Amino acid sequence: MTTQNHPHPVAGVAVEEQGVVEFLRAHPEFFTHHPEALMELTLHHSSGSAISLIERQVATLREHNRQLKHQLHDLVQIARDNDRLNERMHRLVLSLMDCATLQDVFIGIYDSLRNDFHADAVAMRLMAKPKIAAHDLAAEPLDVLFVDKDDAAWDAFSGFLKNARPVCGHLGVTQMGCLFGDQAAAMASVALIPLTGIPGASQLRIPAGIVAIGSYDAGRFHHGMGTHFLSQMGEIISCAVRPYLVAE
């Protein structure tokens, strides 16, 4: 029976280190061509327990470099997210441009928000009236209600409509009930988007309604998130539905 001899681990490390030493001796320009490698090295001076000023400066620079890398990573991620949002907005615009009826518009909005923007619930409330009879519009797939502008239900949204800017987070019980009905309790967060209006007799634009996007995830829509894309979405949807609404 023969016994196979295995090299000692320490000896193996020594061989590897010797190889590194020989490589650096053969390529003295290595760190000139790869300065980033120096940022990962730790060199200690023979100064006892004291830390030299150079070591402290290098450690500070390394920490600053790590922070910059994290910031760059975050910026790249934001840029990628914005690219994806731009693509989705582009598809929404194209789908609405192909619509020939108000029902087609509703279907296009619903499909985009559910499939591209992953909404768990979508509701639209319009205070303008359609040019065709409301009962001629199918109730599905988008939850749409045409509400009189003097309806008391709008009182819960008066501040939002006056401000005319998207709002994200969790809404009050009354607002949630008006928008999502039986689904209200299941909605953990909401994006509320104002529709900008229709031309009236005075050619002034009045608030036309609301699009609400509901999510089961409490962190999906929150007060600190940006609303630039939501504002653009509101403008796109407003332009799409406006030709089919009665001007007052």
Please give the model's pTM, rounded to 2 decimal places: 0.67
**Per-residue model confidence (pLDDT) at position 215:** 95
More confident residue, 9 or 248: 248
Confidence of residue 205 (pLDDT cuts 50, 70, 90): low
**Per-residue model confidence (pLDDT) at position 226:** 83
Q: Can you list the domains of the chain with their CATH numbers?
A: 100-244 (3.30.450.40)
Across 161-166, average pLDDT: 85
Q: d(Cα 221, Cα 227) in Å, to the nearest integer?
A: 10
Run of H or E including 192: strand 189-195
CB 168 within 8 A of CB 221: yes
Grouping H, G, I as helix, E, B as strand and the rest as coil, residue 190 is strand
**Per-residue model confidence (pLDDT) at position 203:** 42
The most confident of 26-40, 52-66, 228-242, by mean pLDDT: 228-242
Grouping H, G, I as helix, E, B as strand and the rest as coil, residue 176 is helix
pLDDT at 64 over 60: yes
pLDDT tens digits, one per residue of 167-194: 999 888 999 999 998 999 999 999 999 9
pLDDT tens digits, one per residue of 84-131: 888 999 999 999 998 998 889 999 999 999 999 899 999 998 887 888
Closest CA to 170 of 212, 228, 210, 142: 212
The average confidence (pLDDT) of the chain is: 80
**Per-residue model confidence (pLDDT) at position 223:** 87
- Count of C-beta atoms within a 10 Å radius of residue 238: 20
